[in-house]
Chain A
Amino acid sequence: MLIIFTVHNTAVAGGPFGPPQPVSKETGGLYTGIGYWYHEDIYKNGTEHLIRQNQVYSHVGYGAKNLWEIYARIGVSDLKIFDAYNSTNVLTTTDKNDFEENWKFFGTLGAKGFYALNRIFGVGAFIQGTYYLSNFTDDVAGISGSEPFTTDLQIKNLWDVNCGIGFQATAPYNIKLYAGPYIYYSEAQASLAVNIPGLEYTAGNVTIRNKTIAGGFAGVNIPLLKGFQMNIEGQYSERLSAGAVVTYSY
């Protein structure tokens, strides 16, 4: 894992980590949820680009004894890469600057462990990985030299892995406040169908990675009525990401 994190620094994808303490009932059991996550980050491959994603997902987890939990998510996400088609060649112009593609499926797996220091405070650790099951593709047209062109850019095999430590405090009404540091790594392959002079991406796979490997997260988990809970979380590394999930514990 350390080798991965020292290879190159950079990031995308992600998703909330949730409270360190398992959401499942203490006696053990399943919980499910639906969530939304707004993600922004900066990745680079020579040039830095801002990326933005909106994820909607379904979440299912299983845990027991307030000690451990495993979970999975499946959802859809869009992807926008700002200035992906900016040309460095004055003879090449494109009809748009940004790469945009709508809903593609992704899957996430995660696990966490928790240790209660006392009735109020606790500490936990987690690991979480996401993989996009489909490629993102966007067409771009323009003029290179005096020749018109049309090509498409593919973002393939987008994945990430995150791990971190969370510190939790339980407030009245069983509201859980938590925060902690995390490190992450993500990468994808970018591939332009045809080489166009002046465009950053070229034919063949170009690996793009997150710019920064570390960040911090904080959130609150609020019990609602009748077994429902709401988790709101924010993460900050290069940019702020945030989201909410409403879960139901069986």
Chain B
Amino acid sequence: MKFFLFLILVYTFLTMGCAHSLNSNSSTLSPSSSTSTPPAVVTDASNSGEVNLPPREKEIKSESKSSDDENFNEDEAAGEKAQIADPIEPLNRAMYHFNDKLYFWALKPVAQGYNMVVPEVARISVKNFFSNLRFPARFVSCLLQADFSGAATEFGRFTINTVWGIGGLLDPSSNKELDLQKQDTDLGQTLGVYGVGQGFYIVWPILGPSSPRDSVDVVGDYFLYPVSYINPWYVWLGVRGYEEVNDTSLRIGDYESLKDAAIDPYIALRDAYVQYRLKKVEQRRLKLTPSKPEEKSSLSDDSVLQKN
């Protein structure tokens, strides 16, 4: 498993230079051009009708609804359409179909059954527990971004939630009295903050939408997530599977509505993914460079997009 992850890491770094497009009216990028100048983007939708919503996609859907609005002008963002090269679209679509079937045929039925048996409060507690275990990745990401206040917040959250949150099952840190909010960051965002481009679009089997840059996050997350060190491997697999089922049970219907609303769900998800990640990176940048209001407003999405 570690060797496989190492190969992914090497591959990711080799392909990191690939950039995504900034222009909305560009045509499909040919694979050969993906390594040169900022490429154009895929805008032609195929007829593929099915989409998978693996973890990251579901995260996009649910989190995009929530409180990501600080320091980010959505109106400006709406004007620009962030796009990404998709040189391996046929392969991506195949993976996307695979993930879609995996969701509808396996994950969703299991999550629905689990949903009926386990009350929501317990499922939220389980989610809190696993989220608390993901503290190392968020903490290291904050440190790598020189966001020491974020790292301190994460450390405080972890301590309080572990000690007074019954091992992380509860989340007292998020209460308004303590107001230690989770630092929504990862290693992919860290690279983005330092100006590393997303590269091209990849759909990993099971893991879902990604890019070479964000694949670093997958690898880093593996090593920084304590669950990864569970032995034997089948216990690890069981725990990860349970975590996924639990998370899915809290989001049943989100993916379906996204899919129903899209003409081409593959394109819709890809666009949603790239915009979501772009927004996250921009939020981190703004947080790390507190500036005067006029400076903030002068940071146009164009410049932001070009950095990504």
Contact = CB atoms under 8 A, between A and B. Distances in A.
Contact of B163 (A30, A34, A227): A34
Interface string A59-72: 01000000000000
A178 B170 CA distance: 30
Interface string A168-188: 000000000000000000000
Interface in B188-212: none
Nearest to A226: B177
Interface string A181-225: 000000000000000000000000000000000000000000000
Interface in B167-181: 167, 170, 172, 175, 177-178
Interface string B157-172: 0001001111100101
Interface band, chain A? 10 to 19
Given A248-B172, A250-B170, A250-B172, A34 B164 contact: yes
Nearest to A248: B164
Contacts of B170: 30, 32, 250
A33 interface: yes
Main secondary structure of the interface of B (DSSP, over half): loop
Nearest to A32: B164
Contacts of A34: 163-164
Interface band, chain B? 10 to 19
A60 B166 CA distance: 8
B166 A227 contact: no
A226 B175 CA distance: 10
10 contacts: A32-B164, A32-B170, A34-B163, A58-B163, A227-B177, A227-B178, A247-B164, A248-B164, A248-B172, A250-B175
Q: Which 5 A-B pairs have the closest CB atoms?
A: A248-B164, A226-B177, A227-B177, A32-B164, A34-B163
Interface of A: 30, 32-34, 58, 60, 226-227, 246-248, 250
Given A58-B166, A226-B178, A227-B177, 18 more contacts: A32-B164, A32-B165, A32-B166, A32-B170, A32-B172, A33-B164, A34-B164, A58-B163, A60-B166, A226-B177, A227-B172, A227-B175, A227-B178, A246-B164, A248-B160, A250-B170, A250-B172, A250-B175
